[in-house]
Structure 1
Amino acid sequence: MTATTIARAWMVRRADGMVLGFTDHDAVLTFDGIRFRPDHGMSARALVQATGLSVDNSEAEGALSDDAITERDVLAGRWDGAAVKMWEVDWTDPSARRLVFAGSLGEIARSQGAFRAELRGLSEPLNAARGRVFHPRCSARLGDGRCKLSLSGETFTAEAAIAEVEDGRILRFSGFPAYEAGWFERGRLLVLGGGAEGLGATVKNDTALPGGGREIELWQALGIAPVAGDRVRLVAGCDKRAVTCREKFDNFLNFRGFPHLPSEDWIMAPQAGGNRG
């Protein structure tokens, strides 16, 4: 290939299977069953790839357009973690190409109708901690294969229609099912319908209101705010303590923590308060 016929092409694949292709060439390129459009929906800075396990120093940026990457989808988190590949291509012969990057989109920021996303290489997951952590609190996630608690039914899950939304993160309900105050704190909220369908967040505060009402405060507002009438599903919260596992969920047999570990003070000074000899 000669330098005058080199173009760059990007493929982005979301978790739901949607695929988009972009190129900095002035005409459409097609290979691997993907149509790479020259609409500047995405571009990227020069790659600075590390030989170790650090994040590759590069960013992808582009315009938020209706037929490519929309602001609504970015706010909804639908592009988070999307797979990315980048090629250098001879536009006169697309079969003559070289893969120069493969990885995923990291943190995505938006500003003035455009987005900027960190590119993370394939080695990035190797930076994550591996192995079991010995800690007094449970290391499982509520309802996962290690916890084994069934979240089906009305004991730990409730569905209701929103009556009022304040600041995008405080949701109020009327005629809410009877649960003790704080039952859903640290739990999850999932939007089941409307423009924010599929979005989820963690519950910060759960307050029972007079007359059977409920107020749910989220730690962070959803990317797309739900509106009155949208239905949501709430899952009970777990603070990972052994007493909560035993008394709230009756699931202590599957508790994945070490509640009888000595405190850090004992580890630093094991002779304190004990026999010296």
Structure 2
Amino acid sequence: MSQNPLEEVELYAFTSNSAQFHLTPHEFDVDLDGERYLSLPLQRNELALGAEAAKSALELKLPPDCALVRHLLAASLTGDTTSVALRIARKSDWGGDWWISGTRWLGRVLGVEIADDQARIRCESAQVSLKRIGLRRLYSRKCSHVLYSTACGASPISASAFVSNVYGRNVELDGGVPGSVSGGLAGGWLQTPDGARHMLIGETSDGVETLYPVAIAAGVEVQLVVGCDHGTQTCAARFGNLDNYGGFPAIPSKNPFSTGVF
């Protein structure tokens, strides 16, 4: 970080197919080239110096209730990739305008997680991903497809319900969870009328539990979308979609290099 934030600031630009976010970790907004970089309490890890800086992984910490985090959680369900650029801006000597003095880091968002009332965004350098040889799909027993994506091919299963009350992460529903989606909401999401999606981690006796605290007014009608544990049994029984299963459940559990062939 710069020792003099009034003369030099960091700017973050997040870009996906559906949204753009421009942020700065400093205590003031920055207007530059027609874009407004909004001030947000944002922290990052230390990057390597010199040429190795561009290859370093980037980890960001920020409030869990900001629009960027909500977008990334929704994008993780749809498979939408988000790129991120970290640039340095300096204030011009002849006026109060800002100008881009260089790019510190370029890459893409790998994932977002929320713990201890703080969101963590993990990012991979563009240099690292470009040097990776071959296909990028994971070779794993569990399916690696994003649920309801084109590669997945499953038809969404959903039901509507009315919110009766909200206590932090617990959302109570009139009449409880609808029977058509009951028992299958873990890993799915709750969608509000304005399009915001909140990931679900489970069901309660009278509603659902979200990944992070939400604020939804009583009486609002929401959509509950069924999730998936990416296993073969769920893929076949719940979605009838085993032909598109993207995992490799028959991978041998015995490693011949450590246990021997026989």
Query: In which range does the TM-score fall when normalised by the shorter chain?
Result: 0.5 to 0.7
- Provide the rounded CA distance (Å) in 2 between the counterparts of 1:248 and 1:255: 13
**Residue 191 of structure 2 corresponds to which residue in structure 1?**
190
What are structure 1's unaligned runs of at least 5 residues? 1-5, 62-73, 110-114, 208-213, 272-277
- Provide the rounded CA distance (Å) in 2 between the counterparts of 1:149 and 1:116: 30
- Provide the rounded CA distance (Å) in 1 between the counterparts of 2:43 and 2:230: 42
Q: 2:154 aligns with which of 130, 137, 149?
A: 149
**Residue 77 of structure 2 corresponds to which residue in structure 1?**
none
**Residue 89 of structure 2 corresponds to which residue in structure 1?**
87
Which structure shows the bigger proportion of residues in helix conformation? 2
**Contact kept in structure 1, 2:89 and 2:99, CA below 8 Å:** no
**Residue 220 of structure 2 corresponds to which residue in structure 1?**
230
Query: SS at 2:239's partner residue?
Result: coil
Q: CA RMSD in A?
A: 4.9
Equivalent AA in structure 2 for residue 215 of structure 1: G
**Contact kept in structure 1, 2:11 and 2:23, CA below 8 Å:** yes
Q: 2:253 aligns with which of 252, 260, 263?
A: 263
- Decide whether aligned partners of structure 1 residues 162 and 120 sit closer, same or farther in structure 2, where only a CA change above 3 A counts: same
Q: CA deviation at 1:237?
A: 1.8
**Residue 167 of structure 2 corresponds to which residue in structure 1?**
166
- Decide whether aligned partners of structure 1 residues 241 and 269 sit closer, same or farther in structure 2, where only a CA change above 3 A counts: farther
Q: CA deviation at 1:78?
A: 1.3
1:99 pairs with 2:102: yes
- Provide the rounded CA distance (Å) in 1 between the counterparts of 2:120 and 2:181: 42
Equivalent AA in structure 2 for residue 98 of structure 1: S
- Provide the rounded CA distance (Å) in 2 between the counterparts of 1:43 and 1:246: 42
**Contact kept in structure 1, 2:87 and 2:102, CA below 8 Å:** yes
Query: SS at 1:171's partner residue?
Result: strand
- Provide the rounded CA distance (Å) in 1 between the counterparts of 2:158 and 2:64: 26
- Decide whether aligned partners of structure 1 residues 248 and 19 sit closer, same or farther in structure 2, where only a CA change above 3 A counts: closer
**Residue 241 of structure 2 corresponds to which residue in structure 1?**
251
**Contact kept in structure 1, 2:189 and 2:197, CA below 8 Å:** no
- Provide the rounded CA distance (Å) in 2 between the counterparts of 1:116 and 1:261: 34
What are structure 2's unaligned runs of at least 5 residues? 1-5, 73-83
Query: SS at 2:235's partner residue?
Result: helix
- Provide the rounded CA distance (Å) in 2 between the counterparts of 1:237 and 1:119: 23
Q: CA deviation at 1:250?
A: 0.8
Equivalent AA in structure 1 for residue 88 of structure 2: M
- Decide whether aligned partners of structure 1 residues 225 and 88 sit closer, same or farther in structure 2, where only a CA change above 3 A counts: same
Q: In the comparison of the two structures, how many residue pairs are matched?
A: 231
Matches within 5 A, 1:88-127: 88-92=90-94, 98-99=101-102, 101-103=104-106, 122-123=125-126, 126=129
- Decide whether aligned partners of structure 1 residues 253 and 166 sit closer, same or farther in structure 2, where only a CA change above 3 A counts: same
1:133 pairs with 2:134: no
Q: Deviations over 1:137-162 (max 9, x none)?
A: 211122112111122xxxx1112211
| TM-score (normalised: structure 2) | 0.62
Could you tell me the percent identity over the aligned residues? 18
| TM-score (normalised: structure 1) | 0.59
